[in-house]
Structure 1
Amino acid sequence: MTEAAAELADEIGLDKLTLSALARRFGVKDASLYSHVKNLRDLRVRIALRASEGMTDRIATAVAGRAGKDALVAFADAYRGYALEHPGRYAATQMRIDPEEVADSAGFRRSVELTYGMLRAYGLTEPDLTDAGRLLRSTFHGYIHLELSGGFGHSRDVQASWSRSLDALHVLLENWPSRHDGNKR
């Protein structure tokens, strides 16, 4: 049922996914779904967990054996590719989920490990790992959100801009401000 719900979310959007819409997909009454899920939130969390695992598997395959800029580009391209191919599932991965809801999720833990592993190659340690991870996630998400919503109206090729953005992120990560440079915040 989770896979069918994820496919439906990709087709119509996570925000339009309802238990009624899923019941119609299966040709059953809404009430029959409640023996499988608690409520819509439970279903969306299940989609998020499954999507996180799929996205993380794709990223892990892409970055295997790579470091530095090569790893950054592979990571970013895999992230973006998954989001563009599976917009509803991707939206689910952006939901606020309580820690107890993901406590048993290998996908969420592995995602953080992959991100930190890639960033450690730039010589980053905590708290810079967290800060850089947040920067990458917000940059990737913002770009993808604009791309999915048709927000890039300029004639410049979107892929060319994506590539240049990754070049700039690489330079930034190589030159991450040290807390010892007087840049304490």
Structure 2
Amino acid sequence: MPRAGLDVDAVTRAAAELIDEQGLAALTMTALAERVGVRPPSLYKHVPGGLVELTHRVATLAAQELAELFHGTRSDQGGAPALADVAGRFRRYVVDHPGRYAATAAAEPADEDDPLAIALRDSLDALGDVFDRYGLPQQEHVHAIRMLRSVLHGFAVLDAARGFRIDVDVDASVAWSLEVMDAGLRAVRHSP
């Protein structure tokens, strides 16, 4: 019998908290069972797919949280303020939830109706709203989104690994990168 109050959502949230604290590699059924106060076999009543299903569920949770964050950006202002806002939200999320963020790269949607696929599309659509204000054609949104994600991912991962060893403020480097990106996007918009 499952423990009272323990359901798949509670197990998913506990897994998310565990990996945010200790890293994705720390996610085991034993460690999670200890955290939620049950024996490891009891967890399979909630997540029959074990670690693969848990990672997928945590990735879905993270993608949903990111979509919500991105939908709250100041995309209505457009330009540099919107880029800075989305960059700040993204970087804070990765710092606050490194395990969840890592899970988004570790899980793969099963098909287009998979909740993970839906949440990822929603987060990308929200980022697309930022680029609408630049007047970019819809078919160019994917390039702009990939550029922004690559830059932000790179800063987040390198910063978390203490990969920036030069004594120059990382925030200043992020701001500079966003200014260059903003200038480039404005130039692309005005090019023939």
Q: What letter matches 1:145 in structure 2?
A: V
Matches within 5 A, 1:101-112: 103-104=114-115, 106-112=118-124
TM-score w.r.t. the length of structure 1 is: 0.88
What secondary structure does 2:185 align onto? helix
TM-score norm. by structure 2 comes to: 0.85
Aligned partner of 2:103: which letter? A
Match of 2:67 in 1: 56
1-structure distance, mates of 2:155, 2:165: 13
CA separation in 2, counterparts of 1:175 and 1:44? Answer: 41
1:16 match: 26
| 1:126 CA displacement | 4.0
Q: Which residue in the other structure is 2:169 paired with?
A: 157
Equivalent runs, 1:12-161 vs 2, <5 Å: 12-37=22-47, 38-63=49-74, 65-100=76-111, 103-104=114-115, 106-161=118-173
Cα offsets for 1:91-144 (capped at 9, x unmatched): 112234125276335532321211111112112124321111111111111111
| CA contact 2:75–2:130 (8 Å) conserved in 1 | no
Percent identity, please.
36
Does the C-alpha gap of structure 1 residues 155 and 102 become closer, same or farther in structure 2, counting only changes over 3 Å? farther
Q: 1:47: how far off?
A: 0.5
Q: CA RMSD in A?
A: 2.1
Instruction: Give the conservation status (yes or no) of the 8 Å contact 1:102–1:108.
Output: no
Alignment check: 8 A CA contact 2:55 2:107 kept = no
What is the count of residue pairs matched by the alignment? 180
Structure 1 CA distance, aligned partners of 2:113 and 2:148? 22
SS at match of 1:94: helix
Deviations 1:22-67 (A, max 9, x none): 1121232211111111110110111111111112212222325321
Gaps of 5+ in 2: 1-10
In 1, Cα distance between the equivalents of 2:144 and 2:183?
13
Kept in 2, the 8 Å contact 1:49–1:102? The answer is no
What amino acid maps onto 1:21 in structure 2? Answer: A
Change (3 A) 1:165 1:126: same
Stretch deviating more after TM superposition (104-113 or 133-142): 104-113
Query: For the structure 1 residues 49 and 19, does the alpha-carbon distance in structure 2 shift closer, same or farther, using more than 3 Å as the test?
Result: same
Separation in structure 2 between the aligned mates of residue 143 and residue 69 of structure 1, nearest angstrom: 18
